[in-house]
Amino acid sequence: MMMTTNIFSAILLLCCCANHVQAWSTAPTSFTPSTLHHRRSSIVVPSATLLANIGRSWGTTTALFLADTTAAASTNADEECTDSDASKPRKPKSGDIVTFTLQRFQSTDPNSIVEPHFDTSGTLQLRLNHGNYLPGLHNLLSTMTPGETITGSTIDAGYGSYNTQLVFQIDATQLQVDTSLVKVGTMLAMGNGMEVRVTKIEEDGEKLMWTLDGNHPLAGASYEVDVRLDAVEEAPSHWEYHVGDEKKSSSKYDVATFGLGCFWGGELAYQRLPGIVSTAVGYTQGEKVNPSYEEVCTGTTGHTEAIQVVYDPNVASYRSLLHLTFNRLGDDIYKQNQVGNDRGTQYRSGIYYHDEEQRQIAEELLESYASADREVSTEVKEAKVFYTAEEYHQQYLLKGGQSAKKGASESIRCYG
């Protein structure tokens, strides 16, 4: 269906995020330059830029690489194993650690898809329905039992189906923009927050009609996969600090929580580390129950932005996680309530240990950074309730087009 309207306002814009902002899916409903608070500049964006950085403009408004997550405290009580015989092969449930082998992962149309930013071959792991990889892959794995192989299964590439109702026309003469700068392929942002691509320009008397397409350029794309489910294992259950074996499950995996200022860049760094099974960003160490991002940003709730990781200690030791943490922080270890350009109590750095072993290792390593004239400001405290951040924050930089492949070494751009 082709819709015609002349009531929208449009602006050319460069895909630059302002300092630590809300997801683009929450863009303002009325348009003025000031209401687009999540943009820094206005400029033409050719479609080639978008295709080379898939998801940077669209990823936060789609289901890219994100399975079903919630904004509730990570007590994970509903994910504890209830099987009387844990060794009996079973289908995985939400929260389980799933080991699988991707034997084949390819686009159903080689001309319509680009290289994924996650690992697509070999033996891999994820925490079911807790982000990373595509929702379709999570869904497929949830139907399988260990040892089972499925071949030729088609999964959505994460951009949704093509919707003809998102194609419409506007009269460009009614827009307050320099129409001479707009070409076929230019990206525009509508006043209601919708991002569209110019697909046709034609004159109609005194009118200058633009045909705009609100679909993602890769809408309808899919992958064909061959996958074997190798193992289903219990996730750790000690999500807060515990003493000895208190609350500790039989899981061979462990959990760690760190505050590194803005959680986007830190999360991607952990995702790239071999042995990391899953990551989540959220808020911890505060008083308010289940705070929102906006509330945490006021600095009045007591929370700090944090990253919680599930890892295999046989592959990635807690010491290796700390070394990555300190490397990310650099001299910010010595700064109070500041990491990089982000300032405020919600950006303070911290190591939140889940048991005494983690505490001892953290204090030992941090001590090596202290000196007579430099006091370490990174706090070391017991892990408290971790409130998972809003869905759009999860794996934000992966969805924005940066590689989360194990061992990736490309520079991490913290704001898209």
Catalytic residues: 262
Q: Which helix (H) or strand (E) holds 325?
A: helix 318-329
Nearest one of 50, 84, 281 to 186, comparing CA atoms: 50
Specify the DSSP element, H or E, that contains 362: helix 356-367
Residue partners of 244: CB distance under 8 A and separation at least 6:
none
Question: Which string of DSSP letters, residue by residue, matches 39-69?
Answer: BS------HHHHHHTTTTTTGGGS-TT----
DSSP state of 73: B
- Contact between 121 and 97 under an 8 Å Cβ cutoff? The reply is no
Residue carrying the six token digits 């943009």? 39
The rounded radius of gyration (Å) of the Cα atoms in the chain is: 23
Closest to 51 in 3D by CA, of 190, 223, 219, 267: 219
Q: Which tokens in the block code for residue 381? A: 């405290």
CB neighbours of 330 closer than 8 A, spacing ≥ 6? Answer: none
CA 184 to chain centre: 31
For residues 31 and 112, what is the distance between their CA atoms, to the nearest angstrom? 33
Identify the H or E element spanning 227: strand 222-233
Alpha-carbon span 182 to 99, nearest angstrom: 48
d(CA 293, CA 366): 29
Instruction: Residue 394: name the closest of 98, 159, 131 by CA.
Output: 131
- Consecutive H or E run containing 140: helix 135-141
Torsion angle (degrees, nearest 10) of CA 238, 80, 387, 354? 10
- Inter-CA distances, 174 with 4, 104, 167, 203, 210, Å: 13, 50, 19, 13, 11
CA distance 414 to 253: 28
